[in-house]
Structure 1
Amino acid sequence: MKWVTLRELLAFDEGGVLRLLLAPTGQDVSFDGVIIGDEGPARPCTNRVVLSIGISVEEAAERDAAAVVVRPDDSGLDEALRTADQYGMALLARAEWADWDDVATLLRSALAYAEAGRGDRMADATAGGGLAALASVVAEFTGGSITIEDTQFRVIAHSATGPDADDLRRETILGGRVPDWRVEELRRSGLLRTLWSSGEVIHRPADGGTPERLIIAIRSGREMLGSIWAAADGRALSENAASALARAAEVAVPYLLQHRLRESGARRREEHALRGLLGGDGDVSTHAWSLGLSPGMRCAVVVAEHDGPEGQAADRVMGAVALQAASFRTAARVLREPGRVTVLLPVGEGEEQEVPALMRELDLLAASMPGAGPVWVGGGGVVSSPLRAPESREEAGLVVRVLRDRAARAPQGGAEGRRALVGEVAPAVAVLRVLDVVRPVWELGGGPVHDLVRTDLAAGGELVRSIAVYLEESGDVPRAAKRLVLHPNTLRYRLRRSRERFGVDLDDPDTRLLVALAVRLVDGLWPTGQS
């Protein structure tokens, strides 16, 4: 196993997964392995980087660790710094947006990177130059033109393009990716299936205007990272082109891992910033800057939430909703969470209709994919700056709650009942805000109304539900009985029972107000369990 210095690790960490806190003996301290937390009985950690999961910094230091990685919010950081300094051990913290898997992948990739960067002419010529250098070296070895692509068929490196290059190569390099028509052609021909399942060099003979090509997958174990394509460029490929391409696939592995880490880090940082901005957590100005959002940009937030059990069908629907939102406008920022998609949509002057237009697209898409339950779409108001996005996000979330509540009370609601802007349901949103404030007071209270609600809900909630509908119909017994599918005398009996058994007088305005609040606050009253 190749040794890696702390300096080399930090240089390899282009995504910023780790932050150096302390290096008492300098950055030339080296390591040759990773230990993830307490992996069983106490054993030496000599020359290892230890991830502090279930193991203290002091214990790792006593086992002679080269470095320890701690959480970014570690409450014992001051003590950890003192311990690291005392033992002469490096101390690092993972980024807020990263998790332990990101850290472990980074460390192992850095070791693989160092291992592959030596050993023969191809590896030595590539070391320090990255994939661009590898493409040039492979072109020299094979006598062809080289493109290195990731699993999404994007060109991440290529050799120089000669004057005799075919049109497909020129289009691919200029567009930065293999054209969609070409990907579909390769899929139909079975080449992609062969590429994804084979570890060998694949030969494609010349066909009309398409020159001879050699292709090989780049893999780390069983994981597909990308592919290398060598095309004859006005001359035949060399005799040893296949063996050179096979070696190139080995040398490319750590570089593709680094590319994937870089992309993954960028996505995770954006997700972390967007979640912080929408939630109003941390420095929202920094979050907005990280997302490339101008402080003066008008925007609105749209929330789509799935209603029903999680599963493959629900995941498929919400995945499609997220993709639709991302494609609605390139400047839109989309946060995907379990059962929820949140969209931060820039809104220019005179573009206010873009918000309901996006909501309509998401609603129609979700409705066209049966089997996963309804998806509610709520739109918050347009705000003057992304720094105020939490206000719009809160409104959008409240709108979704209103839609759920209305559907629970009137399950026969039509398609239009699945989406709404905050202005369209403003009174109901205001009521929810009041209920959220009142809820803690209700939960701590007592008295006849509390006794009625708690006792009746324990028995199924028939009486409380009847009272709720009676109050919603402004005391009109015939109308309330019709909604409840009861005889009016049955409803009158239930109302009389609330007075006789619990002392709840619905003729008293204060009691009616308290009961109205109570029935709206109680979870489990309506079929969906949402109020």
Structure 2
Amino acid sequence: MNDVTLRALLAFEDGDALRLLCAPAEEDAPVRRIAVGLDDLGSGAEDALLLAVGADPVAGTVREAARRGARAVVLAGALAEPDEDLVAVARETGVALLTRAEGADWAQTAAFLRSALTYLGTVRDDDAPATSSLSVLAARVAASVNGSITVEDAQLRVLAHSATGPGADALRRTVILGGRVPDWRVAELRRSGLLRALWTSPDVIHRAADDENPERLVVAVRSGREVLGSIWAAADGTALAPDAARHLRTAAGLAAPLLVRERLRESGTAHRREAAVRGLLYGLGDRRTHAWALGLAPDAPCAVVVAERLPTGRADDRSLDVLALEISAHRPGSGVLRDGDRLTLLLTGEGPAADHETAVRAAVRDLEGVVSSAPGTVWLGIGPVVRPAEADRSHERAVLVVRALRERETRASAAGQPRPARWSDAAGVAGPLEALRVLDAVRPVWESGAGPVHDLVRADLAAGGELVRTLAAYFDAGCDVPEAARRLVVHSNTLRYRLGRIRERHGVDLDDPDTRLLLSLAVRLAP
């Protein structure tokens, strides 16, 4: 049996049954068997994963399990947050600590872990037969059919492909570079009925060459009645082999277990990576464990980049999707989180922090170039380079930088000035950023206050906010009435009339310095 690591074992679990509370001392702790209860452990170094059935007290169980050679301990019941004393014991002994979800019983957990351990121990991509890897399978089939092979999952995402020859058509290059079949091509396949035929037919489907695309063969990969994906063969400068269909049918059978494994790996690994990235970005849970789950050393340099899109409502605004694809293609070790109109990137590296800072700025310049030609508006904020345990600080600063960039552009637009850069770090927007920090600190004080200025702002916002917008333009223009009127696109006398209403109707004296200060804060804090 091949060596299996705890990291590989967890990659087969979707994150709903087991939760990692504390990482092991070793980067790739081996696991050789699953033990149920302390009595199932021997007295020597067994490299076991212990299911702590009926364990009480828990801390004593962890110590004893470590003494008997366990690499990890699974506890019963879901914990909202790990007990600090228990985590301390796990760190002291070097044992990984996990909890079992309340909805899964011990028998189910043991059966799953033993099955995964057996499977991983008997199959390895680097030294197994030629069909143990989708990439190897694609290369072998390509040679047999005398064409190019693409292996896709049920969502038409590319999982593997053979080498692309000089005669490859534009569609194949687009699919491989994009990592999936483009939407327009999917729509075309639906209209033609080929997609329906693919998912329902057990045989190889032939598509003749046309003016733009060469001859193609495609077959669905199935496990019983479930469709797992498909294998496409395309003529690559020469005709496909006469028996190409037979080779594709054989390949579909060989690919089925590989696609199942790919789905398991993708599900478990992606779920855990996302949970670990989110934990680091928002300072949740045990940060050392999150770093371990991402394969990061405790002192590895990392920086957070926040990309925020201005909502456009346009169906073709895929700017954040393009960014995510760019990061995945060129920086595969990075963490990516998508939340609505915001994309958060955890860019990791090696070596000195200064070198990583230079690399991050270069990467952001490239990303800005990518989105500048796409529909919509995207701002990119760079957080400082920190250690993984401090990623939440970099994230907080990157979010603030984006806010400062947006406000700076709004003010430049109102003043008729050229559009400023849409990416920066904290140093590039130092003034606006510090102003935002002060405003965030002042907001609770303002919201709990009362008086004439509060009454003015609340009443005006309820009526549409005309006076608040007038005051904002007035202060932004340095109390220059003609300039403020120009920005509001109104006559100077109209602006003076509005300022007079503020004095007469609301009793707010704009000549008083303290009142002007309070008003300037109030209009900045207004929604």
TM-score by length of 2: 0.60
Superposed CA offset, 1:200-223 (max 9, x none) = 25799xxxxxxxxx9854224463
Q: Distance in 1 between matches of 2:325 and 2:380?
A: 15
Match for residue 15 of structure 1?
Answer: 12
**Partner-residue secondary structure (3-state), 2:316:** helix
Q: Distance in 2 between matches of 1:275 and 1:387?
A: 12
* 1:505 to 2:505 alignment: no
Equivalent in 324, 328, 341 of residue 322 of structure 1: 324
* 1:272 to 2:289 alignment: no
Match for residue 362 of structure 1?
Answer: 367
* 1:342 to 2:330 alignment: no
Equivalent in 153, 163, 173 of residue 179 of structure 1: 163
Q: Distance in 1 between matches of 2:475 and 2:206?
A: 77
Superposed CA offset, 1:246-294 (max 9, x none) = 6x85686455323311222112211111111111111112112221222
Letter of the aligned partner of 1:355 in structure 2?
V
Letter of the aligned partner of 1:317 in structure 2?
S
Contact kept? 1:310, 1:339, Cα under 8 Å: no
Match for residue 353 of structure 1?
Answer: 358
Match for residue 86 of structure 1?
Answer: none
Match for residue 382 of structure 2?
Answer: 379
Match for residue 211 of structure 2?
Answer: none
**Aligned 1:341-490 pairs, distance under 5 A:** 341-346=343-348, 348=352, 349-350=354-355, 352-370=357-375, 373-383=376-386, 385-411=387-413, 414-490=418-494
Report the alpha carbon displacement of residue 227 of structure 1 after superposing the two structures with TM.
4.8
**Aligned 1:185-264 pairs, distance under 5 A:** 198-201=201-204, 217-220=220-223, 221=225, 223-225=227-229, 227=231, 249=252, 253=256, 256-264=259-267
Q: Distance in 1 between matches of 2:401 and 2:280?
A: 20
- Structure 1 stretch 181-190 or stretch 473-482: which is displaced more? 181-190
**Partner-residue secondary structure (3-state), 2:18:** strand
Superposed CA offset, 1:119-147 (max 9, x none) = xxxxxxx9995698xx96xxxxxxxxx64
- Does 1 or 2 have the higher relative contact order (CA < 8 Å, sep 6+)? 2
Report the alpha carbon displacement of residue 351 of structure 1 after superposing the two structures with TM.
5.0
Contact kept? 2:308, 2:341, Cα under 8 Å: yes
Q: Distance in 1 between matches of 2:486 and 2:146?
A: 73
Report the alpha carbon displacement of residue 310 of structure 1 after superposing the two structures with TM.
5.3
Alpha-carbon spacing, 1:165–1:283, altered in 2? closer, same or farther (3 Å): same
Rg comparison, structure with higher value: 1
Contact kept? 1:303, 1:342, Cα under 8 Å: yes
**Partner-residue secondary structure (3-state), 1:409:** helix
Alpha-carbon spacing, 1:366–1:242, altered in 2? closer, same or farther (3 Å): closer
Q: Distance in 2 between matches of 1:157 and 1:201?
A: 16
Alpha-carbon spacing, 1:218–1:391, altered in 2? closer, same or farther (3 Å): same
* 1:285 to 2:288 alignment: yes
Q: Distance in 2 between matches of 1:421 and 1:386?
A: 19
Alpha-carbon spacing, 1:356–1:475, altered in 2? closer, same or farther (3 Å): same
Letter of the aligned partner of 1:504 in structure 2?
V
Report the alpha carbon displacement of residue 467 of structure 1 after superposing the two structures with TM.
1.5
Alpha-carbon spacing, 1:215–1:443, altered in 2? closer, same or farther (3 Å): closer
**Partner-residue secondary structure (3-state), 1:181:** coil
Letter of the aligned partner of 1:322 in structure 2?
A
Contact kept? 2:221, 2:231, Cα under 8 Å: yes
In structure 1, list runs of 5 or more residues that go unmatched.
1-10, 28-68, 76-91, 115-125, 137-145, 205-213, 230-236, 524-531
Q: Distance in 2 between matches of 1:410 and 1:310?
A: 24
Letter of the aligned partner of 2:328 in structure 1?
A
Contact kept? 1:149, 1:226, Cα under 8 Å: no
Alpha-carbon spacing, 1:442–1:276, altered in 2? closer, same or farther (3 Å): same
Equivalent in 272, 295, 299 of residue 298 of structure 2: 295
Report the alpha carbon displacement of residue 390 of structure 1 after superposing the two structures with TM.
1.6
Report the alpha carbon displacement of residue 481 of structure 1 after superposing the two structures with TM.
2.4
Report the alpha carbon displacement of residue 427 of structure 1 after superposing the two structures with TM.
1.6
Contact kept? 1:304, 1:378, Cα under 8 Å: yes
Report the alpha carbon displacement of residue 521 of structure 1 after superposing the two structures with TM.
0.6
Q: Distance in 2 between matches of 1:275 and 1:323?
A: 19
* 1:516 to 2:520 alignment: yes
CA RMSD of aligned residues (A): 5.1
In structure 2, list runs of 5 or more residues that go unmatched.
1-7, 21-34, 41-75, 83-98, 152-159, 176-180, 182-188, 208-216, 234-240
Q: How many residues align?
A: 393
Q: Distance in 2 between matches of 1:267 and 1:446?
A: 50
Report the alpha carbon displacement of residue 408 of structure 1 after superposing the two structures with TM.
3.1
**Partner-residue secondary structure (3-state), 2:299:** coil
TM-score by length of 1: 0.60
**Aligned 1:61-72 pairs, distance under 5 A:** none
Equivalent in 136, 142, 147 of residue 155 of structure 1: 136
Q: Distance in 1 between matches of 2:393 and 2:10?
A: 36
Contact kept? 1:381, 1:423, Cα under 8 Å: no
Contact kept? 2:11, 2:269, Cα under 8 Å: no
Equivalent in 293, 306, 309 of residue 309 of structure 2: 306
Report the alpha carbon displacement of residue 488 of structure 1 after superposing the two structures with TM.
2.7
Contact kept? 1:147, 1:228, Cα under 8 Å: no
**Partner-residue secondary structure (3-state), 1:297:** coil
Match for residue 62 of structure 2?
Answer: none
Letter of the aligned partner of 1:359 in structure 2?
V
**Partner-residue secondary structure (3-state), 1:334:** strand
Q: Distance in 2 between matches of 1:282 and 1:262?
A: 24
Superposed CA offset, 1:87-106 (max 9, x none) = xxxxx9459xxxx9xx9xxx
Q: Distance in 2 between matches of 1:445 and 1:71?
A: 43
**Partner-residue secondary structure (3-state), 2:357:** coil
